[in-house]
Amino acid sequence: MHTMSGYPTLQPAFTIKVTIEAPLGVGSASRQNALQVVPMTGGSIKSEPGFSPAIDAEFVGVGNDYIHADADGKHCRLNAHAVAKPKDDNDLIYVNYTGVVTLAPEIQAVFAGTAEEGSTPFGNAFTHFTFETGSERYKDLESRIFVAQGRFNIEKGKSPVVEYRVSQVLQG
């Protein structure tokens, strides 16, 4: 029997929620896949119980997610940038995530603004998170590897919220 030793495992780390607005269709004169910039206007990072360093932060300023759809229209590539501020101090944490979203019909409906109320299933969006900070308290985040799966939460009359369940990659 083959064992799975040597493969990394995942430890739940935090839930990140990002409020997004309608994409700005920048386009591209020199590429096949046009650029869309999605403004990130709010959100939060909350660590799971037992995860260290514990974090409870809100996004500040304005972030953007730079998205290129593949030429075949089946996937899009994310590259998001934001800054978070913990509620209990003045430290700032730069958050960057990159990933791939499968443009299933329910995801296309979110981007088109026609999605029904509720949550899309997990499994269409996978990302890799990195962090940068001048804070001693959170500096360990810079040296760890984080992966996530995401979904969209749609509530009538409100901006869509992307919810990421983020795990730290650990030795298996």
Count of structural domains, the chain = 1
If DSSP codes are grouped into helix, strand and coil, which group holds residue 141?
helix
Supply the pLDDT for residue 28.
Answer: 83
**What pLDDT is attached to residue 30?**
85
pTM to 2 decimal places:
0.93
- pLDDT for position 33: 79
- At residue 66, the 3 state secondary structure works out as strand
Instruction: Find the domain containing 142 and state its range.
Output: 21-170
Q: Establish if 6 belongs to a structural domain.
A: no
CB 135 within 8 A of CB 123: no
Asked, for residue 81, whether it belongs to a domain, the answer is: yes
In a domain, residue 44? The reply is: yes
Question: Quick one: three-class SS letters along 94-123?
Answer: EEEEEEEEECCHHHHHHHHCCCCCEECCCC
Residue 75 lies in a domain: yes
Give pLDDT tens digits along the chain (172 positions).
566 778 999 999 999 999 999 889 898 888 777 899 999 999 999 999 999 999 999 999 989 999 999 988 899 999 999 999 999 999 999 999 999 999 999 999 988 889 999 999 999 999 999 999 999 999 999 999 999 999 999 999 999 999 999 999 999 8
Give dist(CA 30, CA 59) in Å, integer: 33
Please name the helix (run of DSSP H) or strand (run of DSSP E) that holds residue 25, with its range, or none: strand 24-27
**Spatial separation of the C-alpha atoms in residues 160 and 151, rounded to whole Å:** 10
Is residue 1 assigned to a domain?
no
Residue 15 lies in a domain: no
User: Which residues lie closer than 8 Å to 43 by C-beta, 6 or more apart?
Assistant: 16, 17, 18, 19, 58, 59, 82, 84, 161
| Residue 1: per-residue pLDDT | 57
Residue 134 CB-half CA count within 13 A? 6
Q: What does the pLDDT read at residue 10?
A: 97
Instruction: Record the tokens describing residue 25, joined without a space.
Output: 């269709």
